[in-house]
Amino acid sequence: MPRENFSQEAHSDWKIVLYYSYINLSAGNKVDNQVEFHRETCTNKDLKGRIRISPEGINGVLSGRFDLLQEYEQMVMQVLEEISEQKVDLNIKYCSLREDLPLEPQLFDSLIVRKTSTVISLFGAEQVGEDRIHGKKLSKKAKAKRKQKKAQIEEALENEESTGGIQWDKAKIQQDMVRLQPSPHLTPDEWNSRLLRAEDNPDTSSALLLDVRNVYESRVGHFSAPNVPTLLTNTRKYSDLPELLANNPHIQEKQEIYMYCTGGVRCERVSVLVQSLYPDKRIYQLGGGIQTYLAAQVLHITDGGIVQPPRSTNLFMGKNFVFDPRRTDPLHGPKAVIGKCLVCSKLHDDYDNGHAPSELKEARCNTCRMLILVCNDCRPRYTCWGESSSSPQRPLLYCGLDQCVHEGAAPVPELVAPPTSLIK
C-alpha cells in the first residue's frame, strides 16, 4: 500500500510496534525461512523498520498503518506457534506517534530484515546501536577503533579474574544463558507495589533499581522510587554490561534487584546474566519494559482494555528514549525534564534541539559519535560531529565537553539517590 496523502491521515491511524520472542529457531532452515517470511510479509503490507532473526528468536521494531500491523501480528503469531507447537508470547507493544511532529518523518523509510547470531548481542559480537538508526556509515578510522575495542572486550571477557569483583568467565555465563530461565516479570501494578513498600520503610538497604539501558537513554528518563536508589549503568553499548555488573559494589551489596529497559528484550538476557553472577539474589524485571509501564500508568489501561484516567503514582521520571525516528515516546512521567545540558547544566532533554530526528541535526560527540545533550543557547557555540565550521570561536564538542570520555573507556556507573517521597 503506497504512502500517499499523509496530510489527510490521522496520527492515530499509524503506529510504531515493538516486539520480541525468544523461541528456538536453530533447527533446519528455520532462520532463513523466517527472514524470507518477514521480508515478504512486511513488503506486502508496507511495513518498514528493522527485524533481527536468530536461532534463539526474533526482535523487531516496525512502523505502519495500525490495521496492517495488527494483521502482521496475527500472521507472525500463527507461524511461530506452528513452529513451536505451543502458545508463543510475542511481547508486542503498540506505540503512538508524537503529535508535535509531522506524521511521515516519524515512520521508518526502509525495511531491514537481518539474520543474526543472537536476539540481542550481549558479548559484543555485533555492533547494533542507536548510532546506526539513520544508516550513517562509519569512517575507516572509526571502524579501526571499533575493531580494536572489540578485541579488547573479548580479551577481557576471556580473563576469569575480575579485578575488585567476583570471579567469572564468559563460557560459564554463556552456558547459564541456556540453562537458566529469565527472572520473574512484574506487571506495572506489581512493580509499583514492591517499590512503594519502601516509602513507609526507610530501612530498605536490600533493594536496588537497575537501569540496563545505555547512557544516552537514561540521561533523558529513568525510574525513581522512594528510599530505593537507582543504578544507572551509563554504558555506551550493551556489551559493556557483563564486566560492569560483575564488579559493581552497589549490586554486590543488595539482595533485591529490580531491573528495567525500554521494551523488555534486554532484561530477558541481563536478568539471566545477573542470576549467573549472583545466584543468591532475588531478581525481578519489569515485564514489557518502560513502554508497557507508561501505557499502563499514563493511559491506565486495565486488563479488560478499558482506558481510565491517569494514575497519580508514576515512578518513571522524564522521557522514554526509543530506537525509531520519534527519538522519544509521547508518554512520559510526571517530571518532564531530567536531562541537563553538557555545557551549562541547564535542564534540557532534546538531542535534536527542536528539529525532528529525521532531519539529522542531533548533537553528537566528535570522536565516539554518541548523542549528547546541549541546550539551544549553548549549541551555536560549539561544533558537533557532522557539522562544519570555519570559525575558531566554535570549538569541537565531545561527550566529556572538551574530550571524549566514552571511546575505548569503561563505563562509569552512577548511583542516583532516591527521593524521600513521591515526586508529583
User: Are 102 and 184 contained in the same domain?
Assistant: no
Instruction: Give pLDDT, residue 121.
Output: 80
Tell me, yes or no, whether 236 lies in a domain: yes
User: Are 103 and 174 contained in the same domain?
Assistant: no
- Boundary-marking domain end, from 86, 119, 152: 119
Q: The CATH number of the domain where 114 resides is what?
A: 3.30.70.100
User: Are 153 and 112 contained in the same domain?
Assistant: no
User: Are 14 and 109 contained in the same domain?
Assistant: yes
User: Are 93 and 237 contained in the same domain?
Assistant: no
Of 261, 267, 384, 399, catalytic: 261
User: Are 93 and 196 contained in the same domain?
Assistant: no
Tell me, yes or no, whether 147 lies in a domain: yes
Instruction: Give pLDDT, residue 156.
Output: 44
Q: Which of 266, 267, 243 is nearest to 257 (CA)?
A: 267
The number of domains in the chain is 2
Phi (first) and psi of residue 106, to 5 degrees: -90, -5
Tell me, yes or no, whether 386 lies in a domain: no
Tell me, yes or no, whether 373 lies in a domain: no
Q: What is d(CA 373, CA 382) in angstroms, rounded to the nearest whole number? A: 12
Instruction: Give pLDDT, residue 422.
Output: 61
Q: The CATH number of the domain where 250 resides is what?
A: 3.40.250.10
* Contact indicator for 392, 210 with CB cutoff of 8 Å: no
User: Are 114 and 164 contained in the same domain?
Assistant: no
User: Are 92 and 209 contained in the same domain?
Assistant: no
- Domain containing 274 equals 142-310+409-416
Instruction: Give pLDDT, residue 148.
Output: 55
Residue pLDDT tens, the chain, 424 long = 445 555 556 899 999 999 999 999 998 899 999 999 999 999 999 999 999 999 999 999 999 999 999 999 999 999 999 998 888 889 999 999 999 999 999 999 999 999 999 998 887 644 333 333 333 444 555 556 555 544 544 444 344 333 445 556 777 777 777 788 999 999 999 999 999 885 555 555 689 999 999 999 999 999 999 889 999 999 998 888 988 998 899 999 999 999 999 999 999 999 999 999 999 999 999 999 999 999 988 776 555 555 555 566 899 999 999 999 999 999 987 777 999 999 999 999 999 999 988 788 999 999 999 999 999 999 999 999 998 876 778 999 999 999 999 998 989 999 998 876 665 5
Tell me, yes or no, whether 52 lies in a domain: yes
User: Are 148 and 293 contained in the same domain?
Assistant: yes
Tell me, yes or no, whether 192 lies in a domain: yes
Tell me, yes or no, whether 371 lies in a domain: no
User: Are 105 and 156 contained in the same domain?
Assistant: no
Distances, alpha carbon 153 to alpha carbons 122, 163, 243, 367, in Å = 11, 15, 9, 19
In the structure grid, which three cell numbers stand for residue 75, read together?
500472521
Alpha-carbon Rg of the chain, whole angstroms? 21
Q: Which of 6, 124, 17, 115 is nearest to 63 (CA)?
A: 17
> Strands 14-22 and 111-115, how do they pair?
unpaired
Instruction: Give pLDDT, residue 165.
Output: 53
Q: How many helices (DSSP H) and strands (DSSP E) are in the chain? A: 10, 14
Is 378 annotated as catalytic?
no
User: Are 161 and 97 contained in the same domain?
Assistant: no
Q: Where are the beta strands (DSSP E) in 43-123?
A: 48-54, 57-65, 93-95, 111-115
Other Cβ atoms closer than 10 A to 178: 8
Q: Where are the beta strands (DSSP E) in 70-154?
A: 93-95, 111-115
HSE value, Cβ hemisphere, 13 Å, CA-based, for 402: 0
User: Are 107 and 155 contained in the same domain?
Assistant: no
Instruction: Give pLDDT, residue 201.
Output: 57
- Boundary-marking domain end, from 53, 86, 119: 119
Tell me, yes or no, whether 327 lies in a domain: no
